[in-house]
Structure 1
């Protein structure tokens, strides 16, 4: 845990990325390897100038290796790695080799092209590698080392934790990724999820796929798979982040995109919202009423739809009258998606489902 806390204006605590923790653990371990003692707490410099200090949770010093471990503190962000122990074991390397990275237990290995690391490399992302290398060089200069080291990063229980992330689908096998571009976890920024969406598109493009599906959850993933026979790594777990999928595909197009999701979330997309989270956008029942009127609904039905508690409730009101509200939501959502994609060569179709996974609208 850091000895210094930072907060957002709303009072939520920032946390530290796995990359920052790995950097601090490496700094402590290499210092101990050269001097015989661990700095505790250990202070590091982050890319934007912050200098957090981390208490050591584990330390071991041997004749030719040193290990330090730090408990990941994600602050008030609901991060899957919060509380995990990030370890770095540092050994002397061959002269002239610089910093060589290894994946220890709980850290994954890249097995598919399209990620910012070559196939076969430990899933330690470029910025954490830069941070670790910079601190290794500083410790070497301070204590008379060569800076030629083998750095093995591991995460306690990381393989189990990784099953709750995108890693298996992205082809990162055996554990978690060591992530972070600033070293700081901003509470509820959802940057890791959005980054995973982008990496998913990169992997799909590298595999040569012509069709991907952005899905709001596991039920819509199943429906998209049954409809189109898409492989798992062509399925983008977009959750609430429709905008992240569309904006990244605008710059990195795939010929065909299916957007699949529940009627509530896709009615928000139909209303122009690109973040579909319930805390950041709401179903517009006036829009649903207008669509019902356009479909030929009588005034009484239009007002019932306007007063409905949910989008699914509105849909159920229209079904006995034979009004295709689901198709109209899908069509409007497709229009919004196409507008965000601008001139990108991406064909879009939309599939709207209910909670059971029954298709209730398509465009």
Structure 2
């Protein structure tokens, strides 16, 4: 989605921040006797957002409050979802429970152990901080069960990486700062890293990073790879390769269309059209075909130069990948596809 550079994009708040605010509102009702209309929390970097409290309920020994997630101008799948928290007494300390729409971790490699609700460490820390704050305010102890639900979370999770990462039954409660920054590259790259972690922890020795859904389907079928071996690299080749350099796997396949793999072959590690472009003069020299100097797209160049260009690009992309991986002990191959998903060139192991 192309953005107007003159427009200041509005930031939003993570599911972790929303769950923290909902916890605070529910505790105010449980211990203070009434729900607030709005509640403010302090985020890790000092921001103090205000949240409207919705859909409040209470009963004997429990209280529940909701917060509607506002992701700002980010195309977040959870934008507009209700994050709901029910608080009640626990036997000891703060206990986290996955309510409807929050997933359970079923594979190792994530920052939360197998069998636990998919509530990441920083949101847990933020919620525990609010429990301590409210307990001090009302003279209570911190023995509280925090049950987090996300309305329609199971359906929304199907649009995320969660099923592939082994998070079953719903969404994750995420956020390290509490802030959603619109079109954040760091969020996507963090997801790539978690994908590598899960694959390694499950003993997967061959993983693949692809630029899109078509190349992913082709590469997965080519090698018979399981879902958790497929890393949603997208445009962030550098984010994947630099992480694998530090956390190596035995075998890595990079797949994509001729345009993005051409940029990779020319040394680009961010393959987004707004952040890197094909150098057609360099491409003409690489392929040995002066006609390519005046092309508008790599696909147009391929239609002129044909299979020769595709194989040269695959080979040079392999060089780029190996240079980034340095001395990482990994076998690497490149697969280039056309728009129909047909393989037009391969290079490597």
Q: Secondary structure, in 3 states, of the residue corresponding to 1:258?
A: strand
Aligned residues: 343
Deviates more, 1:305-314 or 1:81-90: 305-314
| Deviations, residues 181-217 of structure 1 (Å, cap 9, x unaligned) | 0001111113332111111101110111111100111
| Deviations, residues 233-292 of structure 1 (Å, cap 9, x unaligned) | 111111111111101101111011100011111111112111111222222222321222
Q: Secondary structure, in 3 states, of the residue corresponding to 1:324?
A: helix
Quick one: distance in 2 between partners of 1:61 and 1:279? Answer: 50
Q: 1:228 aligns with which of 217, 223, 227?
A: 223
The question of whether the paired residues in 2 share the 8 Å contact of 1:325 and 1:361 is answered with no
Quick one: distance in 2 between partners of 1:163 and 1:108? Answer: 11
Quick one: distance in 1 between partners of 2:87 and 2:325? Answer: 46
Quote the offset at 1:10 in angstroms.
Answer: 5.5
TM-score normalised according to structure 1 size: 0.92
Q: 1:315 aligns with which of 269, 293, 302?
A: 302
User: 2:196 aligned with 1:196, yes or no?
Assistant: no
User: 2:30 aligned with 1:46, yes or no?
Assistant: no
Match of 1:291 in 2: 286
Alignment of 1:1-363 (within 5 A): 11-94=8-91, 97-293=92-288, 297=289, 302-303=290-291, 305-319=292-306, 324-363=308-347
TM-score normalised according to structure 2 size: 0.95
Quick one: distance in 2 between partners of 1:40 and 1:85? Answer: 15
The question of whether the paired residues in 2 share the 8 Å contact of 1:324 and 1:361 is answered with no
RMSD across aligned C-alpha pairs, in angstroms? Answer: 1.4
Quick one: distance in 2 between partners of 1:200 and 1:180? Answer: 17
Quick one: distance in 2 between partners of 1:186 and 1:332? Answer: 35
The question of whether the paired residues in 2 share the 8 Å contact of 1:216 and 1:239 is answered with yes
Q: Which sections of structure 1, spanning at least 5 residues, go unmatched?
A: 1-7
| Deviations, residues 21-61 of structure 1 (Å, cap 9, x unaligned) | 00000011011100111223111111111111111122112
| Deviations, residues 72-120 of structure 1 (Å, cap 9, x unaligned) | 11111111111111111111112xx111001111110001111111111
Q: Secondary structure, in 3 states, of the residue corresponding to 2:131?
A: helix
Quick one: distance in 1 between partners of 2:269 and 2:13? Answer: 28
Quote the offset at 1:332 in angstroms.
Answer: 1.4
Q: Which sections of structure 2, spanning at least 5 residues, go unmatched?
A: none
Q: Secondary structure, in 3 states, of the residue corresponding to 1:45?
A: coil
The question of whether the paired residues in 2 share the 8 Å contact of 1:36 and 1:61 is answered with no
